[in-house]
Amino acid sequence: MHQQIMFTPADLIEVMKSVCYLITLIAAVVGIIAATVTKVKAPDRSRDKELEEHEKRINELEKTREEFKTFFRSDSDRFVRLESDTRIYQRGLLALINHSIDGNNISELEKCRDELTEVIYKVKEN
């Protein structure tokens, strides 16, 4: 029952070859798994990159949109002022025409003069 186990140098070399083969096989399997994981994650990375670029564009466009909104608001206010001023000028012209025709409407001319003076001073202040 006491058998002695004997290894020859050839047996040791075969064991070492088997261990090296096993290590090589494990490395190859790990390499294949890593390559597969990289290929699977590649669309996610490219999609994430595209999403980041789209978010940047959206942010830039929103900033531009806000700038345009402020421009439009200021233009709208300016148009309202211009329309009001035009009405005052038209009333003044109408009062002048009426005064030229019949010589009356002096109080209306004075009222128009005051409105025109107010508009002119408002324009100078702004």
What are the φ/ψ torsions at residue 6 (nearest 5 degrees)? Answer: -125, 135
Is 49 contained in some domain? yes
- Tokens (6 digits) for 76: 């709208």
Q: Give the pLDDT of residue 8.
A: 86
What is the rounded CA–CA span in Å between residue 23 and residue 98? 110
Asked if pLDDT for residue 126 goes beyond 70, the answer is: no
Closest CA to 92 of 74, 65, 113: 113
pTM of the predicted structure, to 2 decimals: 0.42
Structurally, the chain folds into a number of domains equal to 1
Asked if pLDDT for residue 124 goes beyond 70, the answer is: no
pLDDT for 18-77, tens place per residue?
A: 999 999 999 999 999 999 988 888 777 788 889 999 999 999 999 999 999 999 999 998
Is 120 contained in some domain? yes
- Tokens (6 digits) for 119: 């508009």
Is 8 contained in some domain? no
What is the rounded CA–CA span in Å between residue 87 and residue 116? 10
The parent domain of residue 70 ranges over 25-125
Contact 112, 92 (CB under 8 A): yes
Is 11 contained in some domain? no
Is 72 contained in some domain? yes
Is 111 contained in some domain? yes
pLDDT for 66-105, tens place per residue?
A: 999 999 999 998 898 888 888 888 888 888 877 777 777 7
Asked if pLDDT for residue 120 goes beyond 70, the answer is: yes
Determine the longest span between alpha carbons in the chain, in angstroms: 148
Is 14 contained in some domain? no
Closest CA to 108 of 121, 94, 120, 119: 94
Contact 96, 104 (CB under 8 A): no
Q: Which ranges of the chain would DSSP assign to H, the alpha helix?
A: 9-102, 106-125
- Crossing angle of helices 106-125 and 9-102, in 10° steps, is 150
